[in-house]
Protein backbone atom coordinates (compact mmCIF):
# COMPACT_ATOMS: atom_id res chain seq x y z
CA UNK A 1 0.00 0.00 0.00
CA UNK A 2 1.26 3.49 -0.84
CA UNK A 3 2.14 6.08 1.76
CA UNK A 4 -0.99 7.59 3.21
CA UNK A 5 -1.55 11.27 2.43
CA UNK A 6 -1.66 13.63 5.35
CA UNK A 7 -4.53 15.99 6.02
CA UNK A 8 -3.24 19.36 4.88
CA UNK A 9 -6.35 20.95 3.42
CA UNK A 10 -9.01 20.74 6.09
CA UNK A 11 -12.46 22.14 6.55
CA UNK A 12 -13.40 23.87 9.77
CA UNK A 13 -15.59 21.01 10.89
CA UNK A 14 -15.23 18.38 13.55
CA UNK A 15 -13.40 15.25 12.32
CA UNK A 16 -15.71 12.34 11.65
CA UNK A 17 -15.74 8.87 10.15
CA UNK A 18 -13.85 9.09 6.84
CA UNK A 19 -16.58 7.13 5.08
CA UNK A 20 -19.20 9.70 6.06
CA UNK A 21 -20.15 12.30 3.48
CA UNK A 22 -22.90 14.84 3.13
CA UNK A 23 -25.70 12.78 1.64
CA UNK A 24 -28.34 14.75 -0.25
CA UNK A 25 -31.25 15.76 1.97
CA UNK A 26 -34.66 15.16 0.39
CA UNK A 27 -36.96 18.12 -0.07
CA UNK A 28 -39.90 17.70 2.30
CA UNK A 29 -43.06 19.70 2.92
CA UNK A 30 -41.48 21.08 6.10
CA UNK A 31 -38.28 22.13 4.32
CA UNK A 32 -40.07 23.66 1.34
CA UNK A 33 -39.70 27.45 0.85
CA UNK A 34 -43.47 27.73 1.01
CA UNK A 35 -45.87 26.03 3.39
CA UNK A 36 -48.74 26.58 0.96
CA UNK A 37 -47.83 23.62 -1.26
CA UNK A 38 -50.64 21.51 -2.63
CA UNK A 39 -49.52 17.91 -2.36
CA UNK A 40 -51.18 14.53 -2.48
CA UNK A 41 -50.28 12.00 0.19
CA UNK A 42 -49.14 8.69 -1.29
CA UNK A 43 -47.66 6.30 1.25
CA UNK A 44 -47.43 3.60 -1.41
CA UNK A 45 -44.64 5.38 -3.30
CA UNK A 46 -41.25 3.69 -3.30
CA UNK A 47 -37.95 4.36 -5.06
CA UNK A 48 -37.66 0.66 -5.87
CA UNK A 49 -37.17 0.24 -9.60
CA UNK A 50 -36.23 3.88 -10.21
CA UNK A 51 -32.94 4.86 -11.81
CA UNK A 52 -31.27 8.22 -11.28
CA UNK A 53 -30.75 9.56 -14.81
CA UNK A 54 -27.07 10.06 -15.53
CA UNK A 55 -25.89 13.66 -15.52
CA UNK A 56 -23.91 12.91 -18.67
CA UNK A 57 -27.21 12.85 -20.58
CA UNK A 58 -27.80 16.55 -19.84
CA UNK A 59 -25.89 19.73 -20.60
CA UNK A 60 -23.30 20.08 -17.85
CA UNK A 61 -20.84 22.85 -18.62
CA UNK A 62 -21.04 24.07 -15.03
CA UNK A 63 -20.31 20.66 -13.50
CA UNK A 64 -16.78 19.62 -12.43
CA UNK A 65 -15.03 17.47 -15.02
CA UNK A 66 -11.66 15.81 -15.53
CA UNK A 67 -10.27 15.27 -19.04
CA UNK A 68 -7.62 12.92 -20.39
CA UNK A 69 -6.49 13.83 -23.89
CA UNK A 70 -3.32 13.27 -25.91
CA UNK A 71 -1.12 12.39 -22.90
CA UNK A 72 -2.41 15.41 -20.97
CA UNK A 73 -4.87 15.83 -18.12
CA UNK A 74 -6.84 18.84 -16.92
CA UNK A 75 -9.87 19.90 -14.93
CA UNK A 76 -12.43 22.37 -16.20
CA UNK A 77 -13.16 25.91 -15.09
CA UNK A 78 -15.99 24.73 -12.85
CA UNK A 79 -13.47 22.93 -10.62
CA UNK A 80 -11.29 26.02 -10.32
CA UNK A 81 -14.25 28.24 -9.45
CA UNK A 82 -15.56 25.89 -6.77
CA UNK A 83 -12.22 26.13 -4.92
CA UNK A 84 -11.08 29.71 -5.63
CA UNK A 85 -8.31 29.68 -3.02
CA UNK A 86 -6.70 26.40 -4.09
CA UNK A 87 -3.58 26.52 -6.26
CA UNK A 88 -2.04 23.08 -5.75
CA UNK A 89 -3.59 19.63 -5.82
CA UNK A 90 -2.69 15.96 -5.79
CA UNK A 91 -4.10 13.22 -8.00
CA UNK A 92 -5.20 10.03 -6.26
CA UNK A 93 -6.42 6.87 -8.00
CA UNK A 94 -8.20 3.87 -6.56
CA UNK A 95 -7.50 1.11 -9.11
CA UNK A 96 -9.96 -1.27 -7.44
CA UNK A 97 -12.99 1.03 -7.35
CA UNK A 98 -11.90 2.80 -10.56
CA UNK A 99 -12.19 6.25 -9.02
CA UNK A 100 -9.95 9.28 -9.37
CA UNK A 101 -9.68 12.05 -6.78
CA UNK A 102 -8.34 15.58 -7.08
CA UNK A 103 -7.29 16.65 -3.60
CA UNK A 104 -6.35 20.22 -2.58
CA UNK A 105 -2.97 20.44 -0.88
CA UNK A 106 -0.07 22.77 -0.16
CA UNK A 107 2.73 23.45 -2.60
CA UNK A 108 5.38 21.78 -0.46
CA UNK A 109 3.54 18.47 -0.24
CA UNK A 110 4.98 15.55 -2.16
CA UNK A 111 3.48 15.00 -5.63
CA UNK A 112 1.62 18.30 -5.62
CA UNK A 113 1.24 20.34 -8.79
CA UNK A 114 -0.39 23.62 -9.83
CA UNK A 115 -3.75 22.96 -11.43
CA UNK A 116 -4.44 26.47 -12.69
CA UNK A 117 -2.67 29.50 -14.07
CA UNK A 118 -1.39 32.16 -11.70
CA UNK A 119 -2.76 35.67 -11.59
CA UNK A 120 -6.19 37.17 -11.06
CA UNK A 121 -7.84 35.35 -13.96
CA UNK A 122 -7.35 31.72 -13.04
CA UNK A 123 -7.82 29.13 -15.76
CA UNK A 124 -7.18 25.36 -15.83
CA UNK A 125 -3.75 24.11 -16.86
CA UNK A 126 -3.18 21.15 -19.13
CA UNK A 127 -0.57 18.93 -17.52
CA UNK A 128 1.56 16.66 -19.70
CA UNK A 129 1.87 13.29 -17.98
CA UNK A 130 2.67 10.47 -20.38
CA UNK A 131 3.27 7.80 -17.75
CA UNK A 132 0.20 8.62 -15.68
CA UNK A 133 -1.93 8.93 -18.82
CA UNK A 134 -0.76 5.54 -20.06
CA UNK A 135 -1.40 3.89 -16.70
CA UNK A 136 -5.00 5.13 -16.58
CA UNK A 137 -5.56 4.13 -20.22
CA UNK A 138 -4.20 0.67 -19.43
CA UNK A 139 -6.22 0.37 -16.21
CA UNK A 140 -9.49 1.22 -17.97
CA UNK A 141 -8.67 -0.51 -21.27
CA UNK A 142 -9.32 2.72 -23.16
CA UNK A 143 -8.11 3.87 -26.55
CA UNK A 144 -5.15 6.28 -26.11
CA UNK A 145 -6.14 8.13 -29.28
CA UNK A 146 -9.51 9.18 -27.87
CA UNK A 147 -10.42 12.02 -25.54
CA UNK A 148 -12.12 11.05 -22.27
CA UNK A 149 -14.12 13.39 -20.06
CA UNK A 150 -15.38 12.33 -16.63
CA UNK A 151 -17.92 14.26 -14.57
CA UNK A 152 -17.33 14.56 -10.85
CA UNK A 153 -18.57 16.00 -7.59
CA UNK A 154 -17.01 18.08 -4.84
CA UNK A 155 -17.50 16.08 -1.66
CA UNK A 156 -16.57 16.21 1.98
CA UNK A 157 -14.88 13.18 3.50
CA UNK A 158 -14.29 13.64 7.20
CA UNK A 159 -12.66 17.05 7.50
CA UNK A 160 -11.37 17.21 3.92
CA UNK A 161 -12.90 18.36 0.66
CA UNK A 162 -11.98 16.84 -2.69
CA UNK A 163 -13.31 16.12 -6.15
CA UNK A 164 -14.25 12.53 -6.97
CA UNK A 165 -14.50 11.25 -10.55
CA UNK A 166 -15.86 7.84 -11.52
CA UNK A 167 -13.63 6.44 -14.26
CA UNK A 168 -16.27 3.89 -15.23
CA UNK A 169 -18.58 6.68 -16.44
CA UNK A 170 -16.63 8.48 -19.17
CA UNK A 171 -17.80 10.58 -22.05
CA UNK A 172 -15.87 9.28 -25.05
CA UNK A 173 -14.84 11.49 -27.96
CA UNK A 174 -13.44 9.25 -30.74
CA UNK A 175 -10.95 10.46 -33.31
CA UNK A 176 -11.23 9.38 -36.93
CA UNK A 177 -8.80 9.56 -39.84
CA UNK A 178 -10.31 11.10 -42.96
CA UNK A 179 -9.41 10.18 -46.53
CA UNK A 180 -7.34 13.36 -46.89
CA UNK A 181 -5.18 12.35 -43.93
CA UNK A 182 -6.60 14.78 -41.39
CA UNK A 183 -7.71 13.61 -37.96
CA UNK A 184 -10.98 14.85 -36.52
CA UNK A 185 -12.35 14.53 -32.99
CA UNK A 186 -16.05 13.85 -32.54
CA UNK A 187 -18.06 16.69 -31.03
CA UNK A 188 -20.84 14.38 -29.90
CA UNK A 189 -19.77 12.11 -27.05
CA UNK A 190 -20.22 8.38 -27.05
CA UNK A 191 -20.81 6.32 -23.94
CA UNK A 192 -20.08 2.82 -22.64
CA UNK A 193 -22.14 0.13 -24.33
CA UNK A 194 -23.82 -0.96 -21.09
CA UNK A 195 -25.51 2.47 -20.80
CA UNK A 196 -27.53 1.84 -23.95
CA UNK A 197 -30.49 0.17 -22.28
CA UNK A 198 -30.61 2.14 -19.04
CA UNK A 199 -31.25 5.67 -17.83
CA UNK A 200 -28.83 5.47 -14.92
CA UNK A 201 -28.24 3.46 -11.76
CA UNK A 202 -30.67 2.48 -8.99
CA UNK A 203 -31.34 5.08 -6.30
CA UNK A 204 -29.65 3.14 -3.49
CA UNK A 205 -26.55 2.48 -5.58
CA UNK A 206 -26.46 6.13 -6.62
CA UNK A 207 -26.42 7.29 -2.98
CA UNK A 208 -23.38 5.11 -2.30
CA UNK A 209 -21.52 5.90 -5.51
CA UNK A 210 -19.66 8.95 -4.19
CA UNK A 211 -18.74 7.57 -0.79
CA UNK A 212 -14.99 7.48 -0.44
CA UNK A 213 -12.37 6.73 2.15
CA UNK A 214 -9.26 8.54 1.00
CA UNK A 215 -7.08 6.48 3.32
CA UNK A 216 -8.02 3.13 1.81
CA UNK A 217 -7.06 1.94 -1.63
CA UNK A 218 -5.93 5.27 -3.08
CA UNK A 219 -2.43 5.91 -4.41
CA UNK A 220 -1.03 9.42 -4.88
CA UNK A 221 0.53 9.91 -8.32
CA UNK A 222 3.38 12.20 -9.23
CA UNK A 223 2.19 13.37 -12.64
CA UNK A 224 4.86 16.03 -13.09
CA UNK A 225 7.35 14.80 -15.68
CA UNK A 226 11.02 15.52 -15.19
CA UNK A 227 12.29 13.47 -18.12
CA UNK A 228 10.94 11.80 -21.20
CA UNK A 229 8.74 8.90 -20.28
CA UNK A 230 9.96 5.43 -21.16
CA UNK A 231 7.56 3.46 -19.03
CA UNK A 232 6.48 0.12 -20.45
CA UNK A 233 2.87 1.07 -19.88
CA UNK A 234 3.19 3.65 -22.66
CA UNK A 235 4.21 0.95 -25.10
CA UNK A 236 1.29 -1.14 -23.96
CA UNK A 237 -1.06 1.76 -24.57
CA UNK A 238 0.37 2.33 -28.04
CA UNK A 239 -0.04 -1.31 -28.97
CA UNK A 240 -3.72 -1.16 -28.06
CA UNK A 241 -4.24 1.74 -30.47
CA UNK A 242 -5.84 0.77 -33.80
CA UNK A 243 -7.31 2.68 -36.71
CA UNK A 244 -10.75 1.53 -35.68
CA UNK A 245 -11.27 1.09 -31.97
CA UNK A 246 -12.65 -2.23 -30.76
CA UNK A 247 -14.01 -0.38 -27.76
CA UNK A 248 -17.78 -0.81 -27.45
CA UNK A 249 -19.58 2.51 -27.24
CA UNK A 250 -22.63 4.14 -28.69
CA UNK A 251 -23.43 7.61 -29.94
CA UNK A 252 -25.81 9.64 -27.82
CA UNK A 253 -27.48 10.87 -30.98
CA UNK A 254 -28.62 7.30 -31.73
CA UNK A 255 -30.65 7.43 -28.53
CA UNK A 256 -32.15 10.81 -29.33
CA UNK A 257 -32.31 10.94 -33.15
CA UNK A 258 -34.45 14.07 -33.28
CA UNK A 259 -32.91 16.00 -30.39
CA UNK A 260 -29.44 17.44 -30.09
CA UNK A 261 -28.89 17.73 -26.35
CA UNK A 262 -25.59 19.58 -26.69
Asked if residue 76 has pLDDT above 70, the reply is yes
Range of the domain at 181: 51-255
Within a domain: residue 15?
no
Confidence of residue 109 (pLDDT cuts 50, 70, 90): very high
Within a domain: residue 192?
yes
Q: How far apart are CA 9 and CA 86, in angstroms?
A: 9
Within a domain: residue 88?
yes
Structural domain total, the chain: 1
Within a domain: residue 20?
no
Specify the pLDDT at position 230.
Answer: 45
Asked if residue 160 has pLDDT above 70, the reply is yes
pLDDT, mean of residues 79-96: 94
Within a domain: residue 59?
yes
Angle (deg, nearest 10), helices 232-239 and 130-140: 50
Chain centre distance of CA 37: 37
Residue 159: what are its φ and ψ, rounded to 5°?
-110, 25
Asked if residue 20 has pLDDT above 70, the reply is no
Confidence of residue 62 (pLDDT cuts 50, 70, 90): confident
Specify the pLDDT at position 243.
Answer: 39
pLDDT, mean of residues 181-206: 72
pTM: 0.61
DSSP state at residue 16: -
Amino acid sequence: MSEQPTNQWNMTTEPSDMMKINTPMPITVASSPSNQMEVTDDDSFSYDGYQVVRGEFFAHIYEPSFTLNNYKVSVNTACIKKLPDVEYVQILVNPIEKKLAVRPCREEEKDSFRWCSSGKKRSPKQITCRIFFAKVISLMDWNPNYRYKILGKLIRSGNEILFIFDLTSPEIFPRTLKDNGTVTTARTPSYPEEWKNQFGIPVEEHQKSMQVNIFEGYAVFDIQEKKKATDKSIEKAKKTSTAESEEKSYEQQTLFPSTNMY
